Structure 1
């Protein structure tokens, strides 16, 4: 019988880190991975350089049905803690923008570090495991059986298989099915950090494919509303770029997205321009501040072709207002294939925020992207993987100490 203290399903960021932390605390860990190698999503992240954390990561940077859930784990394992680990391994890094930290070299360094953190005498990594069944006996022992008949047994099981975003990397909704098997609720999963698609009249903007500009983008409603000041990119399908990916996590079908073009413009800039340059046209002013193709598209839609001196202040202020809150009505997203992460997941109401353990099933844990905690773009989801994995490993060690 292959007996362990804990079975961790999934050798991605959360699973690898949790395995290392648990192994270092003396636990015998069976780390099972469906793919042929661990950390595949880590390797493609950040353009191959892994945006491994964010200096500003805190609870306010995450979406969840319970906005307080992430507080405990994030407080106990911080960006500074992971940076210290990275530096201990001599991995050079740099800050890009907005607190985003990347490897100077390759994401392969992060995967190698996480594997090195797993004590070989305690952590057994097995790849290419297709799980056929997961059961829990009357004695509280979990049994994971592969489709080839191999089986692993342990009194604790950690779900770290992530969400279904980027299925070409082997991602699936396995975590949700397993959670439901044990009676845990799942918050409806949906693509997040994903490009938005445009149809109808907005489809005309797709002719601007390849054009980018700094904007302020808004989406969501009520407490679920958010605004981000970064670049937006027009694509042949609709809208992308950092600002759009950020608001996509808050956007729901049927809602609009608001874009502020010229976010640094003064409040009454068009009226002032009329006073200073009455013979200038709106198109000319826009071309001075925006890429020409975008300027022309906006000018065409605003339809103010006269010299500014011949346009009323009322009409200029209406144009200012439109540019300050241009409304798009996306007809969808580019889906899980292009989503960097999955929002929703195993309901936080089912889990302890301190231990990541399911209240209904002692010994069952869930961490990382599998849980209904979704970070912003820019290293926040990796920080949640590290923090939730750390909290879980601590709890596993505490539970092991209590067992006879």
Structure 2
């Protein structure tokens, strides 16, 4: 038996669910397919289970892409305020944590239930679990649409939306399906890599800092090429966030943000005492204090951090009044501009998102349709990646919304031509 729909959306995550619901409410007969039993696992685990569903301050400036202007159109047509109003219509309570980040008061399940209700309002048919075996385009089928072989039978539709996400967190179902399909239809890819992910360091070099595991503190952090000029460094993206030491390296919002920009062999630079003039403070203390350097330093930075730094240099293991100016200035410089080179990251298993994906040169920024007519890509599978803090969900809503309205317009055009 052949199942016929106006649109097939593959991937029941944030972008796929939202797009399916909006398209269904535009009057389209929509099938939503996912290979997992549960929908939206990434929503369920995000924000510590409370889903950081958007950011009030989202602009194109918070998104990475080979074409940074690509996201502008979709983001302008479906804004954070639009999604906030949708939550309010469903009576879902939420709060702002900081820096515009919005979270559910109760649980991420509220957002999932909202998306399912939107799909129900659009009379969307959902098949789960359902695996896609192959997709043939009009060129192969000799028809005007797509034929999709699934483990629930053959599906025919003139329009197909790929919302299968990236490679991040394979244990909840991430696959490379979207990338493989893009290649099948001759679309280009920007090489995917893990992002919003902890960074790791060589074991021997990290040994002095492994004892700091669990320590968190506010820092300024950036990454730039090893041979970056002062002018290039001025343009580097600097984040003011909390850093977390781990047994294997560094994590916390500061590092997750920086990891999206970091490339192999690039150093990162960390100011462990932002807002303080360490050199002047230590030199003043030298003139009036007989305390150990570690004790004086512990009044400026966490004591565990002070002990770890001082323990690496015998010239610092003495009262501050006995230290040379040179040693104190070197200590201040190292804490204010700590330079270190990761040997890698924790990879896709701990990455919150994937940088890279379907090349935006092969997609329409207004519709999300690819150069293969009737084939659309939305959400994380596209080479658009937001910063930490609700931006990636906003891209899911915005790209899904733009796509849904384009589906309806193309459907009407096809009907008129027929």
TM-score range, shorter chain: over 0.9
Structure 1 position 278, deviation (Å) = 4.1
1:202 and 1:329 in contact (8 A); partners too: no
Aligned to 2:133, the other structure's residue is in SS state strand
Structure 1 position 267, deviation (Å) = 6.3
Q: What is the RMSD of the two structures over their aligned residues, measured on CA atoms?
A: 1.7
1:214 and 1:231 in contact (8 A); partners too: yes
Aligned to 2:367, the other structure's residue is in SS state coil
Structure 1 CA distance, aligned partners of 2:85 and 2:121? Answer: 22
Which deviates more, 293-302 or 272-281?
Answer: 272-281
- Whether 2:325 is the aligned partner of 1:325: answer no
Aligned to 1:218, the other structure's residue is in SS state strand
- Whether 2:162 is the aligned partner of 1:159: answer yes
Aligned to 1:226, the other structure's residue is in SS state coil
TM-score by length of 2: 0.92
Within a 5 Å distance, the mapping from 1:26-41 to structure 2 comes to: 26-41=27-42
**Matching residue of 2:183:** 180
Structure 1 CA distance, aligned partners of 2:143 and 2:337? Answer: 60
**Matching residue of 2:236:** 225
Could you report, residue by residue, the CA deviation over 1:220-274 in whole angstroms, capped at 9, with x for unpaired residues?
A: 4459832211111111111111101110111111111111111121364335533
Which deviates more, 365-374 or 279-288?
Answer: 279-288
Structure 1 CA distance, aligned partners of 2:183 and 2:410? Answer: 24
- Whether 2:387 is the aligned partner of 1:384: answer no
**Matching residue of 1:143:** 147
Could you report, residue by residue, the CA deviation over 1:299-341 in whole angstroms, capped at 9, with x for unpaired residues?
A: 2235423433333434333222211110121111111001111
Structure 1 position 39, deviation (Å) = 1.1
Aligned to 1:117, the other structure's residue is in SS state helix
Within a 5 Å distance, the mapping from 1:102-251 to structure 2 comes to: 102-119=103-120, 122-137=123-138, 138-146=142-150, 148=151, 150-199=153-202, 200-221=204-225, 222=232, 225-251=236-262
Structure 1 CA distance, aligned partners of 2:408 and 2:310? Answer: 63
**Matching residue of 2:18:** 17
**Matching residue of 2:228:** none
Count of aligned pairs between the two proteins: 402
Structure 2 CA distance, aligned partners of 1:8 and 1:61? Answer: 27
Segments of 5+ residues of structure 1 without an aligned counterpart are none
1:30 and 1:152 in contact (8 A); partners too: no
**Matching residue of 2:229:** none
**Matching residue of 2:292:** 281
**Matching residue of 2:375:** 364
Aligned to 2:263, the other structure's residue is in SS state coil
2:212 and 2:304 in contact (8 A); partners too: yes
Structure 1 position 151, deviation (Å) = 1.9
Could you report, residue by residue, the CA deviation over 1:315-374 in whole angstroms, capped at 9, with x for unpaired residues?
A: 333222211110121111111001111111111111111111112x11111000000111
Aligned to 1:337, the other structure's residue is in SS state coil
Structure 1 CA distance, aligned partners of 2:145 and 2:7? Answer: 10
Question: Aligned to 1:355, which of 355, 364, 367?
Answer: 367
Could you report, residue by residue, the CA deviation over 1:170-209 in whole angstroms, capped at 9, with x for unpaired residues?
A: 1111110111011111111111000111114234312211
**Matching residue of 1:310:** 322
TM-score by length of 1: 0.95
Structure 1 position 214, deviation (Å) = 1.1
Aligned to 1:118, the other structure's residue is in SS state helix
Distance 1:121 1:197, change over 3 A: closer
Structure 1 position 217, deviation (Å) = 1.4
**Matching residue of 1:346:** 358
Aligned to 1:284, the other structure's residue is in SS state helix
Structure 2 CA distance, aligned partners of 1:302 and 1:139? Answer: 74
Structure 1 position 118, deviation (Å) = 1.5
Question: Aligned to 2:302, which of 286, 291, 306?
Answer: 291
1:225 and 1:250 in contact (8 A); partners too: no
Could you report, residue by residue, the CA deviation over 1:2-21 in whole angstroms, capped at 9, with x for unpaired residues?
A: 11111110010000000111
Structure 2 CA distance, aligned partners of 1:149 and 1:116? Answer: 24
**Matching residue of 2:81:** 80
Structure 1 position 390, deviation (Å) = 0.6
1:24 and 1:119 in contact (8 A); partners too: no
Structure 1 position 103, deviation (Å) = 0.4
